[in-house]
Structure 1
Amino acid sequence: MQCFKFIILFVLAIASNAKAQTVISGKVTDNQGAAIPFANVYIKGSFDGANSKNDGSFSFQTSETGQRTLMVSFIGFKTFEKTLELNGQPIQVDAILEEQINKIDGVTITAGAFEASDIKKVTVLKPLDIVTTASAAGDIMGAINTLPGTATVGESGRLFVRGGEGYETKVFIDGLEVRNAFGATAPNVPTRGRFSPFLFKGTIFSTGGYSAEYGQALSSALVLNSNDIAEKTQADISVMTVGGDLAYTKKWENSSISGKVQYTDLRPYQDMIKQDFDWKEAPNGKVAELVFRQKINGTGLLKVYTNMDISNLSIRQPNINNGGAKDTVSIGNDYFYLNTSYKDIIADRWSVRAGVSTTLNQEEIDFNTDEIEEDEKGVHAKLAFNWEAAEKVSVNMGAEFFAKKYTNKFNIINGPNDAFDFKENITSTFVETDYFASNKFVVRTGLRLEHSSLLSQTWVNPRLAMSYKLTEKGQFSLAYGQYLQSAQNDYALVNQNLKPEKAAHYILNYQYIHNDRVFRVETYFKKYDDLVKFIDENDFNPNNYSNAGFGEAKGVDVFWRDSKTFENTDYWISYSYVDSKRDYRDFSSLATPSFVSNHNFSFVAKHFVVPLRTQFGATYNFASSRPFHNPNKSGFQNDKTPTFHDLSLNAAFLIKPNIILYMSSSNIFGRDNVFGYQYAGQANAQGIYERQEIGQGAKRFIFLALFITLTKDGQENQLDNL
């Protein structure tokens, strides 16, 4: 009996010295009360813990004592921490996890904007997409014109977006303005953009509702982000049916420099291919580019880009008011663009972007015996900061300065010989805040302030955008913004008191991205105010120019891209419907402008045939009839052009890993597309106003090129690029 008592006392003694076991139980939920299963629940610094069950509940024992930290973690949520006093008594804990905001993979603002980058998650076009789009012929603007929201205006070549004129789209390189981004041309002769797509690593094409950082654009902003330091040292040689170029890039550890010279001459080509235009001197020009990139202090990057462009052309165009006799229009253009930008991380949550761009553009225009000289100088300086104010809040803010001087000199036979000019300085500030309420919902609010020295007035333009992510693959976006743009040079030259033209954008967007497929549908409404209005465009009486014009545009855009369904095939489909009306310029009433086609459709396909080492491409563009004013009928804007059709084909053949042969042809069926008509100013003896067509320069454009890349090892594998 004594032995039994000893055993009992011994066991009790051991138990009294043993650590007490504490039971910890509870439930893991999100801030909406939904259970989170399989969350990791444990005591920090120990092996004691458990996973939550399907209903979010958990329970485990721990022998730890005193103050200890309970940790609860789950992917996509912030780690939950709570200090507990462990003394052997049961503890109940309800762990409410807060969603972890992921600004990279979370919801993004998509209303109005197409990301065209090879590094962004939302990819629509890559730089190589642009040069391999059959109808683009290597022109950035030509490729962008296959996206929804754009309209085919074949006699121009510029970007007409959602019922807006070509001047309403502004181009920016690394956030800095590019004035005169298109080459000089004669009336009703299409032009091209000045810049190569391979200069840029990405493109943001915003059809409306764009950031408060960008101003002086009524309809659209095309933001081109240039390449960083080059990847390797290489030389490039291009031989084309319309000219050629030489380029060389030198790469060091922390810097690179690239230079290119290009010569373009359409005279030999147009001597061989029948032209509908009567060229006295076909377009020809010389371009020189210099690109310098330098890393600074580990996180900073300095970029300097220079473009010098000299071009000439001379064309004879029939004059309907002079019995068909031809007027000779000759244009000489000297262009210089310098862009210097710098970006860096300056603190834990702060980054800076700064830069200055300069544009000099001189055009000498000869019209028969008359001479006109246009001279435009522009400077844009910007300083912007990005501040990660909190986990859920990002702020983009800055200030910028635009300076412009425009001069127009006339030397008119039997007319005025005079010079007119004006200057305008615009000072702007902007602030924009992104609030990530969750990984499913983000709100962007912005404000832009602009002051004009010419008018001594200040305007405040609000911007608002928001997106809600329904699933991992699809989301809705809304956008609203007020935008303004100074009166065009020709109008401000006559009346320097003209106010900026204004537009308000309202946008609703849905986007779905999954498995290399993109679907996008967007509806919008634009309201125009203070548009420039005058009685006669050739009238130089400032009293006849005012801001009495107004208008609106509404429509829907649809986009589908698929690079998954068919092996080695990538294609996209774009459709746009727009209903636009204006009472502006010399319009007698509210009507649809002549550059608007209600329906625009594009189909782009690219297929790589591996055995042939060749990529084949096709682009079909359609545009419905465009209105025009026929003085032989009653009413205004009372007639329609024929519909526009164009089927273009191309092929890129990889001869060797470093040599590509490229071939393309536009309008292979030779359709005679008509863009409008010019009418005589007076009726003939039968009371009929005679007319002449505004059409294409040729039935089709055929382009052949050989591209050669040379590196230190003698070749560059371009198979993956194709």
Structure 2
Amino acid sequence: MNKLLPYILFLFFLIPQLFAQTIIKGRITDKKGEALPGANVFIKGSYDGASSDAEGNFSFRTSRKDTATLAASFVGYENYAQKITLNNATLELTIQMQESMNVLNTVTITAGTFEASDSKKMVMLKPLDIVTTAGGGADITAVMQLLPGAQRVGEQEGLFVRGGSANETKTVIDGMIVQNPFFSSTPDVPQRGRFTPFMFKGTSFSTGGYSAQYGQALSSVLLLNTKDKTDDASGWNIGANLAGLGATYTHKGSISGSVYYTNLSPFFNLMKSNVLFDKAPQGINTSLTINENLTKNSSLKVYGTYSDSQSSMLFPSYDDAGTHYSFDLKNKNLFTNGTYQVNFDEGRWVLLTGLSYSHNTDRIKIGNDDGDRLDERTQARAVMTRLFGKNNASSVLFGAEFHAIRVGNIYNEYDFRLKDNYSAAFVETEVYLTPKLAGRFGMRTEYTSVISKANIAPRISLAYKTGQYSQVSLAAGQFYQTPEKNYLYLNQQLGYELANHLILNYQLIKNDRTFRIEGFKKDYKNLVLEHTNYYDPNPYRFPTGPTDNSGKGYAQGFDVFFRDKKSIKSGEFWLTYSFLDTERLFRNYQKATTPTFASKHNVSVVYKQFFEKIGTNVGVTFTHTSGRPNYDFATTSFTPEYTKPYQNVSLSASHIRTIKGNFIVFYATLDNVFARKNVFGYRYSGDGKQRFEVIPPMYRTFFIGLSMNLSKQMSKPKEADLDNL
């Protein structure tokens, strides 16, 4: 699907979650009655909660029913817990916290990681953050590209992190690798992700130095954990926009079914496109979610989705000026994911098991040539965690996983296929060495049958508390990845590629303001190098020369991040800057140089404002990326020619209204307001004598839609409800 298939899922799940049935408010103090600003208050087992203000006051809503446990935490104080009864009214409390003799549970491992899924840690991006970020298109990956360490590569989907290519980042849902997290790739037209943000509690985006629980990613993992069951609500949600129609029905908060029909013809009839479509992207997508608390100690989550889509585009022929060739794509994708979690011994032991299966087929016709792509993955995973220490702050976990992978590429008479049985085992412990020093130590071992090789990867992270609101963190480790399939089709004697990470981080979080600076060094070894007599910049080329693991490289630099949710009433602001210095000798490069997907400077500025009286949220995003290097066809000098800097200003707005007891969200976006003619790179004719610019599918896009919740049980949301999603 085209990257401009925005927002089909935008806010489809928003309305049912905006409204809560019980208001919980009050004040948090110490035993002397002094206010404790910035304390976390939340319902255990959910993500309903808030932070206290300068006077210690807090207020939030929850859709939980019957009894629940209200918890509170604050630096230097004992954790607080109290049983409460939720009765669809307003519950007002005064919480008095006791000062702790130790602060073991206040240090958090943060180097290389942005968390959004743990109410005791720094919250970075909730689902509502993602869908209200202008320029993100309600797409998880697109918004992640606005965070430190990542950058936008406008002609290809994926996360490019700290000098790493897109295939060096893996997407993980509930611990399971997603084989096809994006809609099927088309030449120079990036695709959006397959999953809506409202499926998940939040996001954990690792820019390096990540946990030993995960592997097969030289640069980064994007961790997505699906939501827990929190209520018994039932109802319909119906949405319509320029990309299609959709409907979702939820039954008692346990079973949810969705169907979406997509057709971009109305959108392309209104907007001028730089891509010629013989058939606009269209398709149908269905999904089923089961989320049930089997007992008070166990839960089951099952998610399945099936999509069938097709499109036909006309691309310029780089050999014959003025002529085009067709690229027809028919895609079928099936993905299922199930997890079972149980805790016992009063929660000190937790077992998480998972099963997943994905199957993706692409039927492709390029001009008169036929081609097929196949991806299939079956995986099983089990993790046992033991919590110990004061407040169960420390832990040790061990686990294992197995993947049966099958991939294939067919192009005319060429038929390439691979099978791989990949297995891994890991152990990791997080302990508090002193009241101010925490450590996480892990080890991972992997075996890949396609190359018949194993590895052992140690990982370590340390965090030291430097003040009441600040800390420094250090992370280091080894990260292995099996070579790309195009190389393995021709040579299965290759070994693992390797990246060594070293990350140093400082962060300060106070009064809803976050400041973070992080330096990093990444050394690449054993990269696949193709030995050819010339350089071909075509990113879709198939290897032609002999290959080995003699490639190498490095990436180093620093990131700065600042987020302020305090200074502007009902508004927030964040600023990101990343500096990158990187070189590589890999693929069919003839010498070590900066790869074409890397840019030295990346800046993002995001501002959001909520107007409670009119129920409207507006946002603006500015992004700047310095020029990326380009190397001429058959060059030996590798002297770079840089594209002009990429710049984009985007606007978004959403408005909530009540009509006959039903809630409707109207939303609109305007991307690349000033229609800047950005260039992402160049393509060449077969003889290298002609060069053509790679440009966005559209220079400016405008998009509108609505989402309606057919339920009369809810009341109009307030700013606090939106903020506490």
Answer yes or no: same fold by TM over 0.5: yes
Shift of 1:632: 9.8
Kindly report which structure 2 residues correspond to 1:470-509, keeping only aligned pairs within 5 A, or say none. Answer: 470-509=466-505
Which contiguous aligned blocks of 4+ residues in structure 1 show a shift greater than 6 angstroms? none
Kindly report which structure 2 residues correspond to 1:82-121, keeping only aligned pairs within 5 A, or say none. Answer: 99-100=101-102, 102-103=104-105, 106-117=106-117, 119-121=119-121
**Contact map agreement 2:530 2:543 (CA 8 A) in 1:** no
Amino acid at match of 2:502: Y
Distance 1:247 1:439, change over 3 A: farther
Shift of 1:118: 7.2
> d(CA) in 2 for partners of 1:351 and 1:101?
24
Shift of 1:458: 1.4
> d(CA) in 2 for partners of 1:566 and 1:539?
52
**Residue 586 (str. 1) matches residue 588 (str. 2):** yes
**Contact map agreement 1:115 1:205 (CA 8 A) in 2:** yes
Match of 1:378 in 2: 377
> d(CA) in 2 for partners of 1:649 and 1:226?
29
Structure exhibiting the larger radius of gyration computed from Cα positions: 1
> d(CA) in 1 for partners of 2:385 and 2:435?
20
**Structure 2 unaligned regions, length at least 5:** 1-31, 33-75, 80-98
Match of 1:444 in 2: 440
**Contact map agreement 2:199 2:226 (CA 8 A) in 1:** yes
Match of 1:669 in 2: 674
Match of 1:89 in 2: none
Task: Return the match for 1:527 from 520, 523, 526.
Answer: 523
Amino acid at match of 1:635: S
**Contact map agreement 1:185 1:331 (CA 8 A) in 2:** no
**Contact map agreement 1:373 1:409 (CA 8 A) in 2:** yes
Shift of 1:408: 2.0
Task: Summarize deviations over 1:662-686 as a string: whole Å, max 9, x none.
Answer: 0001001000000011122326xxx
How big is the alpha-carbon RMSD for the aligned residues of Structure 1 and Structure 2?
A: 2.2
Shift of 1:272: 2.2
Instruction: Give the alignment's TM-score, normalised by structure 1.
Output: 0.82
> d(CA) in 2 for partners of 1:98 and 1:618?
43
> d(CA) in 2 for partners of 1:137 and 1:690?
34
Task: Summarize deviations over 1:50-69 as a string: whole Å, max 9, x none.
Answer: xxxxxxxxxxxxxxxxxxxx
> d(CA) in 1 for partners of 2:653 and 2:664?
14
Match of 2:135 in 1: 135
Match of 1:125 in 2: 125
Distance 1:573 1:604, change over 3 A: same
Counting aligned pairs with the same residue, the percent is 38
Match of 2:87 in 1: none
Give the total of aligned pairs: 616
Task: Summarize deviations over 1:445-495 as a string: whole Å, max 9, x none.
Answer: 100010112222210000000000111210000000100111112221121
Distance 1:289 1:539, change over 3 A: closer
Task: Summarize deviations over 1:670-716 as a string: whole Å, max 9, x none.
Answer: 00000011122326xxxxx2211000111112110111112252666
Distance 1:77 1:276, change over 3 A: closer
> d(CA) in 1 for partners of 2:615 and 2:332?
41
**Residue 191 (str. 1) matches residue 191 (str. 2):** yes
Match of 1:395 in 2: 396
Match of 1:3 in 2: none
Match of 1:358 in 2: 357
Distance 1:290 1:439, change over 3 A: farther
Distance 1:445 1:717, change over 3 A: same
> d(CA) in 2 for partners of 1:285 and 1:167?
26
> d(CA) in 1 for partners of 2:451 and 2:699?
48
Match of 1:617 in 2: 619
Task: Summarize deviations over 1:20-72 as a string: whole Å, max 9, x none.
Answer: xxxxxxxxxxxxxxxxxx9xxxxxxxxxxxxxxxxxxxxxxxxxxxxxxxxxx
Amino acid at match of 1:490: N
Task: Return the match for 1:299 from 282, 287, 297.
Answer: 297
**Contact map agreement 1:521 1:556 (CA 8 A) in 2:** yes
Shift of 1:549: 1.0
Shift of 1:590: 0.3
Shift of 1:611: 3.1
**Contact map agreement 2:242 2:704 (CA 8 A) in 1:** yes
Distance 1:185 1:282, change over 3 A: farther
Amino acid at match of 1:331: L
**Residue 596 (str. 1) matches residue 598 (str. 2):** yes
Kindly report which structure 2 residues correspond to 1:243-322, keeping only aligned pairs within 5 A, or say none. Answer: 243-251=244-252, 256-322=254-320
Distance 1:716 1:246, change over 3 A: farther
Match of 1:41 in 2: none
Task: Summarize deviations over 1:264-305 as a string: whole Å, max 9, x none.
Answer: 211221122111111112222211111001212321011000
**Structure 1 unaligned regions, length at least 5:** 1-37, 39-74, 79-96, 412-416, 684-688
Match of 1:333 in 2: 331
Counterpart secondary structure, 2:268? helix
> d(CA) in 2 for partners of 1:99 and 1:494?
62
> d(CA) in 1 for partners of 2:527 and 2:265?
40
**Contact map agreement 2:104 2:436 (CA 8 A) in 1:** no
Match of 2:239 in 1: 238
**Residue 721 (str. 1) matches residue 719 (str. 2):** no
**Contact map agreement 1:118 1:126 (CA 8 A) in 2:** no
**Contact map agreement 1:300 1:344 (CA 8 A) in 2:** yes
**Contact map agreement 1:486 1:501 (CA 8 A) in 2:** yes
> d(CA) in 1 for partners of 2:394 and 2:714?
50
Kindly report which structure 2 residues correspond to 1:634-713, keeping only aligned pairs within 5 A, or say none. Answer: 635-656=637-658, 658-682=663-687, 689-711=689-711, 713=713
Kindly report which structure 2 residues correspond to 1:176-187, keeping only aligned pairs within 5 A, or say none. Answer: 176-187=176-187
Amino acid at match of 1:465: S
Amino acid at match of 2:722: N
Amino acid at match of 1:669: F
Distance 1:653 1:217, change over 3 A: same
User: Which deviates more, 347-356 or 517-526?
Assistant: 347-356
Counterpart secondary structure, 2:705? strand
**Contact map agreement 2:103 2:436 (CA 8 A) in 1:** no
> d(CA) in 2 for partners of 1:429 and 1:691?
48
Amino acid at match of 2:207: T
Counterpart secondary structure, 1:117? coil
Task: Return the match for 2:430 from 427, 434, 444.
Answer: 434
Shift of 1:631: 4.8
Shift of 1:394: 1.4
Shift of 1:203: 1.1
Distance 1:120 1:663, change over 3 A: farther
**Contact map agreement 2:151 2:159 (CA 8 A) in 1:** yes
Amino acid at match of 1:548: S
Shift of 1:117: 3.3
> d(CA) in 1 for partners of 2:593 and 2:710?
56
> d(CA) in 1 for partners of 2:321 and 2:528?
33
Counterpart secondary structure, 2:486? helix
**Contact map agreement 1:233 1:712 (CA 8 A) in 2:** no
> d(CA) in 2 for partners of 1:76 and 1:717?
33
Task: Summarize deviations over 1:468-527 as a string: whole Å, max 9, x none.
Answer: 011121000000010011111222112122222111110000111111111111000001
Shift of 1:347: 2.5
> d(CA) in 1 for partners of 2:543 and 2:524?
25
**Contact map agreement 1:563 1:571 (CA 8 A) in 2:** yes
